Amino acid sequence: MSLSITHLGSGSRGNATLLESDGAKVLIDQGFSGRELEKRLARIDLHPSDIDAMLISHHHGDHGGGAGIVHRRWGVPIHCNLRTAGELGLDLVNDVELFESLQMLEFADDLSILPVPVPHGGADNVGFIASSRGERAAVVTDLGEWTDELLSHLRGCKHISIESNHDVLRLERGPYSSSLKNRIRGPGGHLSNDQTGLLLAEVVSDKTESIVLCHLSSENNKPHLAESTVLYHIDEVFEGDIAISLQNGPEFTHWLGQAEKELNALI
């Protein structure tokens, strides 16, 4: 009677998040090698063949680069949109189950996932809103700005995983070329810590149980900067747990629903 969210790792060298309900195990993104995914799943006593589906947000290598190998090696179905499938070079007949934005995807009888479009340069990117037995959780990365549509889907989510990519000053003063800096902070790039805080201030309430900040730039961010900047914007309303997912995982799991209460009762 629950939904769990486990980040297997997040950042520009690979992203994968496991959503697990009683009936289904779904990976959001697969940006790791097959061997690396196998290793990370083994730490939580799972194997790639246990995964029911991979949902790929967009074609960039850190999100979709490892989907094909997991499909071929272990037969895990890939779900993505047409642009992503094309850019990843997937066979539309044999490799992939296509979805469209805002098409509800159903897994087993207790996990539904809605892809919501988000702006990200040169890609047809989506964030995912998962629902299980009345609880909702969001996983959203790689967006340079946000839309009212995204905000409306994030409101009411008990768990929000969202990128907090860079600190504006660190990016400004860092080693990247000015064209790369402009791309990262532009509307097709990534959210800064401040932008993530502002976005969350629009959607977080005292009912939000947990937030995970992810896709932190190793060059242009620090976990304490991301956390303190975001909390500055939401401190007055947010009473839940905030955590940061870095490149090496899995580090922790969040539960929504009954399981958490059962777990607490056991402790």
In the complex, the residues that contact Zn ion under the rule CB under 5 A are: 60, 62, 142
Q: Which is nearer to Zn ion, 56 or 200 (by Cβ)?
A: 56
Rounded to the nearest angstrom, the gap between the alpha carbon of residue 108 and the centroid of all alpha carbons in its chain is 21
Give the span between the Cα atoms of 209 and 25, in whole angstroms: 21
CB 67, min distance to Zn ion, A:
14
Q: Strand pairing of 16-20 and 25-28?
A: antiparallel
CB 60, min distance to Zn ion, A:
4
Q: Which is nearer to Zn ion, 188 or 240 (by Cβ)?
A: 188
Minimal CB distance residue for Zn ion? 60
CB 84, min distance to Zn ion, A:
11
Q: Is 201 exposed, middle or buried (0-12, 13-18, 19+ CB in 10 A)?
A: middle
Q: Which is nearer to Zn ion, 4 or 57 (by Cβ)?
A: 57
Give the span between the Cα atoms of 182 and 107, in whole angstroms: 39
CB 184, min distance to Zn ion, A:
11
Give the span between the Cα atoms of 267 and 264, in whole angstroms: 5
Task: Name which of 267, 256, 259 is nearest 5 in CA terms.
Answer: 256
Residue 118, amino acid = V
Place of tokens 């779904």: 26
Q: Which is nearer to Zn ion, 74 or 176 (by Cβ)?
A: 176
Q: Which is nearer to Zn ion, 129 or 143 (by Cβ)?
A: 143
Give the span between the Cα atoms of 253 and 233, in whole angstroms: 24
Output the six-digit token pair for 105. 């995807």
Give the span between the Cα atoms of 125 and 48, in whole angstroms: 24
Q: Which is nearer to Zn ion, 62 or 135 (by Cβ)?
A: 62
